[in-house]
A and B are shown apart, each in its own frame.
Chain A
Amino acid sequence: MANEDVQRTLEELSRNLQESTAWLEEAQRVAHLGYWVWDLETNHLIWSDETYRIFGLTPQEGLIDLDKVREMIHPDDRDAVFRTAGEAVRSGARADCEHRLFRPNGEMRIVHSLGDLKKDSSGRPYQMFGTTQDITDRKRAEEALQRMSGSFQESNARLEEAQRIAHVGHWDWNLETGSLAWSDETYRIYGMAPQERPIDIAMLREMIHPEDRESMFRKAEESLLSGGPADAEHRIVRPNGEVRTVHSRADARRDASGRPYEMFGTVQDVTEGKRAEQALRRSQFYLSEGERLAHVGSWASTNLGINWGDDLGLYWSDELYRIFGLDPKNGAPGLEQCLAYVHPQDRAFIAEKVKAMHEEHCICDVTHRIVRPDGEMRYIRVVSNPVVEQGAFKGYIGTTIDVTEQELLTRELRRERAYLAEAQSLAHIGSWATNFDTGQIFHLSDEVFRLHGFDPAQGPIPLERFYDTLHLEDKQAVVAALEGAVRARKDYDISDFRIRRSDGTIRFLRTIGHHNRSGEIGEYVGITMDVTERKRAEEERERLRQLEADLAHINRVNMMGELAAALAHEIRQPIAASITSANACLRWLARDPPDLERARAAAARIEQDGNRAADVINRLRSFYKKGTPPEPGIVDLKDIIREMTALLRKEAVRHSIKIHSELDEDMPNVLADRVQLQQVFMNLMLNAIEAMKDTGGKLTISSRRTPESQIMVSIEDTGVGLPAENTERIFDAFHTTKPQGTGMGLAITRSIVEAHGGRVWATANSGAGATFHFTLPAKGGVRA
């Protein structure tokens, strides 16, 4: 029984063992775990079936020894595995390692091996028991997982980074719970620290700009209803009050029935972009507008081209096309075309310049003319810089400015300046601007320098030097007037003062100053002019006027002799008439019977004639004023002729008469009464003018010496000529051919000439007019 029981028990045990072994086998297979026994004495290895399988072998296919195992382990792991094993044997600790192996078919597997040492009773190790598990799949899964997790984290980080950089945040809105989840960047966009606090819809609502709030939520609702994505640009107000512009996009997730359960979306801060966009758009607008207004075109070339016909890769701004009068649609012209638009006179120079730019990569700044296709000529200024990147020449960028108006203005200005300077020089008027308080000179035209006897080329001169030229006799008055005006800030006009130039010449100047109220205090602008000629002319006019007055007086005085006779005639006439009338009266009374009527008439005439005589005597009084005895002196006839010509010029011009003189320059002087000679010339010249007054003509005064060493003066006119008869009688007193003439002029002339020992006569010209001649004895050796 016991044996039976033992047998049964043994059988049961055996069965249980077999079952256990089967399960173990099954467990090993499922877990890819094999076991092995290493006999340290014999170095024999016993492998379980699963171990064979792990190594890619058929279970119990052959005996396994250490060398075979070694061979199958991955070469990189081989040493480590045996080292671990050796270590375990020495120390008695568990061997534990992961290593790779190659199956006979070349497949690599990763295994995890564990080994425990078995010791005998004496403690000597005799066996190692271990397991080997194929962990390849797990390992791979782990690695994959790790890789996946790494890349997920990385991409999540990248996403966060990208969101941060792009100012894009995202959010989820659980429609069922109403909870809101924000990404870090969404917090930042809303002006909060990431995940600072939970956000709900009410808080969000508060943070949206009041003006955009309603429209934004309406859009969200519409999106939920319609099923389409929502897209809105709106403003938000950060907790610190800052307003930002954001762009929100949203969409909804829906369940199978199409009911939305979640809304998600992005929010992007577009404030900077918005600003940048606006700024860019504005600056582009400003640039093109600026170019258009300033007539500045810009261009860039990548290559100036070696061959003139090359396409230069030119960029032209719109304004540049306008400057050249070209259509942008046709594209930028080539270099050769550009040169064709250059004015022919500038073309060679520009071609040279372009060549130099190409060869030397120099900076260019030229102004030249172009002729537009429509023939209009424009001035342009081209400024360009070479573009050099890392030492390599890349081309040119430049601007082209239409400077036609400036250029024309400049030329006009230059011309005006030249004209002004010329005009100032001609008129002897200089212009200036100065501050008398500070002595600062703003402007001094060249003519001012010249007026004061300075050379304009010598450069700036202090005001004092101008004062120094003032004539000593005038200086005090001029300076006082000037300083007085400047002190009172009044305009001034100081006339006819003298200056002495460094070469000693004296000039008369006039200076007019105008206080420039819009300028600095003490600032004056004005002109200075040379009035010397006018002053001298005035003096000369005054002298001639005096001369004329003297002559008129002298004429009267010299007429006295002739006048006595003339007056005798004037008085004699009424006296004779009254005597005759008296005789007649007596005869009418002596008649028988007396004719009283006729007698009375005769007596009335006597009265009239008596009164007439009295009138003549009254008029006579006016002739007596002053008398000057003749004063003989040395006289230069040329002087007198010049004086008389000047004196009668106006009268001559009035009658379209030219006065011309042909004088013997070496004419000797005469000893004569100057005033009487003036009178002779005046009488003869006035007669000549009188003779031509209706027709105009030419009055010629000539002088020469006669063989008898006398001076003969001839005064020739182209007038009515001499009377046909009694030519010699024209010199007689009372002989006149003029209705208003006295008949005295030539008589006086003759008496003066004859008193000086000369002779006067008249000849008819071969052409029109008459010539009066007179001679005077020359005073030998006496010269002017």
Chain B
Amino acid sequence: MKSAALPTVFIIDDDKGMRQAIEDLVESVGLRAETFASGEEFLSRRHISGPSCLVLDVRLPQMSGLDFQRRLTETGTQIPIIFITAHGDVPMSVRALKSGAVEFLTKPFRDQDLLDAIQQALQHDRAAQEQQAEIHDLRERYHTLTAREREVMALVVSGMLNKQIASEIGASEATVKIHRGNAMRKMQAASVVDLVRMADKLKLPPGK
């Protein structure tokens, strides 16, 4: 958990009145809020850090909310989205939710529904960020491994014994042991089970 930044709620709505109302509501519960009139404005201004979520109006000029959502996914920006719309229909909300929206609220909405959705989204984002940070950490550790050590690690994770590994890579059992020890140490794995979990998180391909 490197980041302890204050959670932020980003609000994108072309209607200024709506934008200010939501901002005020969010702030009344002690959260930080930032408002944008369009998706483009958000993309050009915002560098996300810390747990955050997006309150997004479906109908926006130029790029609609749904298009914007797809755009974020494509660029690998993961941020929980709460859709709000004044003209919601079922197919639209289904599509939005399928695409990973946290909530789909129809204006006017109950304030508690929005705040709950925001809390849930922030929670979700915080978890995701933590996971993101752990994976980032693991990846850095993994990068310190030599090619031989990575090869041995993959075979270990696949459940092979030292003897089998030695025959697989054409090395002595003693050498395998040294590589295995190095990998465990560099990855800071407490046990083989721990190492398997790490490999899983790193989505490493299983060795033969």
Residues of A within 8 A of B (CB): 565, 568-569, 572-581, 583-584, 587-588, 591, 595, 598, 601-602, 605, 608-609, 612, 725-726, 734-735, 739
Contact = CB atoms under 8 A, between A and B. Distances in A.
B86 A569 contact: yes
A199 to B, nearest CB: 135
A735 B89 CA distance: 14
A583 B111 contact: yes
Contacts of B20: 577, 581, 605
B17 A612 contact: yes
Given A587-B29, A601-B24, A726-B67, A739 B108 contact: no
Contact of A577 (B18, B61, B114): B18
Contacts of A574: 15, 17
A612 B114 CA distance: 23
A569 B108 CA distance: 11
A605 B87 contact: no
A588 B25 CA distance: 9
Interface of B: 15, 17-18, 20-22, 24-25, 27-29, 59, 61, 64, 67, 70, 84, 86-87, 107-111, 114
Contacts of A583: 25, 110-111
B17 A577 contact: yes
B17 A609 contact: yes
Contact of A580 (B22, B67, B87): B22
Contacts of B67: 725-726
A450 B87 CA distance: 68
Contact of B86 (A568, A578, A588, A726): A568
Contacts of B25: 580-581, 583-584, 587
Contacts of B59: 569, 734
B111 A572 contact: no
Most buried by B among A569, A578, A580, A601: A580
Given A608-B17, A735-B64, A576 B86 contact: yes
A577 B111 contact: no
Nearest to A612: B17
Interface of A is mostly: helix
Contact of B28 (A569, A577, A578, A587): A587
A523 B18 CA distance: 82
A634 to B, nearest CB: 37
Most buried by A among B21, B59, B87: B21
A598 B24 contact: yes
B109 A576 contact: yes
Contacts of A591: 28
A605 B18 CA distance: 10
Contacts of B87: 565, 568-569, 572, 734
B64 A572 contact: no
Contacts of A725: 67, 70
A581 B59 CA distance: 20
B108 A576 contact: yes
Given A587-B28, A598-B24, A605-B20, A573 B61 contact: no
A587 B24 CA distance: 10
Given A601-B24, A609-B17, A734-B87, 13 more contacts: A573-B15, A573-B86, A576-B109, A577-B18, A578-B17, A580-B109, A580-B114, A581-B24, A581-B25, A584-B21, A584-B24, A602-B21, A735-B64
Most buried by B among A581, A601, A726, A735: A581
A35 B167 CA distance: 222
8 contacts: A580-B22, A580-B111, A584-B25, A598-B28, A602-B24, A605-B17, A605-B21, A605-B24
Given A577-B15, A587-B29, A572 B86 contact: yes
A616 to B, nearest CB: 12
Contacts of A735: 64
Nearest to A589: B28
B93 to A, nearest CB: 15
Given A568-B87, A569-B86, A576-B109, A584 B18 contact: no
A609 B21 CA distance: 10
Contacts of A578: 17, 21
A598 B20 CA distance: 12
Nearest to B20: A605
A572 B20 CA distance: 16
A340 to B, nearest CB: 88
Most buried by A among B15, B108, B114: B108
B21 A573 contact: no
Nearest 7 interchain pairs by C-beta? A576-B107, A583-B111, A576-B108, A580-B21, A587-B28, A577-B17, A572-B86
Contacts of B70: 725
Nearest to A729: B64
Contacts of A734: 59, 87
Nearest to A741: B61
A575 B108 contact: yes
B18 A580 contact: yes
A169 B59 CA distance: 137
Contacts of B114: 580
Contacts of A577: 15, 17-18, 20-21
A559 to B, nearest CB: 16
A23 B119 CA distance: 213
Contacts of B28: 584, 587-588, 591, 595, 598
A244 B44 CA distance: 125
A201 B1 CA distance: 167
Contact of B107 (A573, A598, A739): A573
Contacts of B109: 576, 580
A293 B143 CA distance: 118
Nearest to B89: A565
B111 A584 contact: yes
Nearest to B86: A572
A565 B84 CA distance: 16
A735 B15 CA distance: 17
Contacts of A576: 18, 21, 84, 86, 107-109
Contacts of B84: 576
B118 to A, nearest CB: 13
Nearest to A572: B86
Nearest to B17: A577
B21 A581 contact: yes
Contacts of B61: 739
Nearest to A609: B17
A598 B114 CA distance: 19
